[in-house]
Amino acid sequence: MKKKNSFEGTKINPKRFHRSQLKFYAFLVPFSTLMLLPILFIFNHAFKPQSELFAYPPRFFVRRPTFDNFMELSRLTGSSGVPFSRYLVNSLFVTGLGVFLAIMITSLSAYGLSKLKFRGKKFLFELNTLALMFVPIAVLIPRYLIIAQSGLIDTYMAHILPIVVMPVAMFLIKQFIDQTPNELIESAKIDGASEMEIFLKIIFPIILPAVATVGILSFQAIWNDTTTSVLYINDESKRTLAFYMMSLTSLQGNRVAGQGMAAAASLIMFVPNLLLFIILQSKVMNTMAHSGIK
């Protein structure tokens, strides 16, 4: 007589809701709610009137939402010497070009370190791993000296070049490429494919999840960067939106009165990051799932 399996008719990971998943929801929902609170706070804070911004005890949720902060922000940007659109265009330009270069340079470099054979490859990878130890502020002075001696002060490349090579992106993409079988690459070479064709047609589709993650990291690093505009840019017309938003309270001359505009500006700078992550989050999850698989 065939013994009945207690797990018969059930799935390990059902596509629809199943009561066996309740224990996971009981654990995950509180944590996801905790992680959602900062996002909710940013949205609520931007719509708070002046009386609620400085209320004591502080209120998490807005009670009387208003657009006054955004209207005041619009009025101030309209009266500045450099048009608001100029800062926006600068940010879009340096971010778009920076993300593209970061993806291409780190991807090609990771492919070389993973699949090509040349002298010093191991040393270069160890050097990249060593670079992971240094926080940006630790290399601030050497970076300034390099940019100054290269003649990049007051140029758009000062925004882009420091972010183009990201050690963490190089490490992440190399881990993905290491999973590609060497036999697949050898068979492509036998068929007459060049190294660039192998990279574009075989490697690049495989590493798309890692590329999406690198895109998010480089986008956040450039879009939210204010240090470059402060240290390397003297021409106001070449500064970015992040710098302008940061300087709003000082332009107002009253830090208390400028807090509402600062809250609205923070929301404006945060929304592109949120939208980009929502669009690419499935790729990011694949990166997290496969980065340690060999």
- Quick check: helix, strand or coil at residue 167? helix
For the chain, list the domains and their CATH numbers.
20-66 (no CATH), 83-290 (1.10.3720.10)
Spatial distance between the Cα atoms of 232 and 155, rounded to a whole number of angstroms: 8
Q: Decide if 103 contacts 166 (C-beta within 8 A).
A: no
Provide the 8-state DSSP code for 201. Answer: I
pLDDT for res 59 = 81
- Quick check: helix, strand or coil at residue 27? helix
Spatial distance between the Cα atoms of 189 and 269, rounded to a whole number of angstroms: 46
- Quick check: helix, strand or coil at residue 213? helix
Provide the 8-state DSSP code for 82. Answer: S
User: What's the pTM?
Assistant: 0.79
Written as one letter, the residue type at 176 is F
Q: Decide if 69 contacts 260 (C-beta within 8 A).
A: yes
pLDDT for res 33 = 85
Pick from 188, 265, 167: which is nearest to 224 by CA?
Answer: 265
Q: What angle do CA 121, 125, 126 make, to 5 degrees?
A: 115
Per-residue pLDDT of the chain (294 residues; tens, 9 = 90+): 444 444 444 455 566 766 777 777 888 888 888 888 888 888 988 888 878 887 778 788 888 888 888 888 887 777 667 788 888 899 999 999 999 999 999 999 999 888 888 888 889 888 888 888 888 788 888 888 999 998 889 999 999 988 888 888 888 888 888 888 888 888 888 888 888 888 888 888 888 888 888 888 899 889 988 888 888 998 888 889 888 888 776 655 556 667 777 888 888 888 888 888 888 777 666 655 555 444
In angstroms, the first-to-last Cα distance of the chain is 43
Spatial distance between the Cα atoms of 82 and 79, rounded to a whole number of angstroms: 9
What sign for the dihedral angle of Cα 171, 175, 181, 184? negative
Q: Decide if 176 contacts 210 (C-beta within 8 A).
A: yes
pLDDT for res 289 = 52
Pick from 97, 79, 99: which is nearest to 244 by CA?
Answer: 79
Q: Decide if 215 contacts 273 (C-beta within 8 A).
A: no
pLDDT for res 99 = 93
pLDDT for res 206 = 85
Spatial distance between the Cα atoms of 162 and 81, rounded to a whole number of angstroms: 28
Largest CA distance in the chain: 88
Spatial distance between the Cα atoms of 217 and 107, rounded to a whole number of angstroms: 14
pLDDT for res 283 = 67
pLDDT for res 294 = 46
Q: Which tokens is 29 given?
A: 């929902």
Q: Which tokens is 96 given?
A: 């778009």
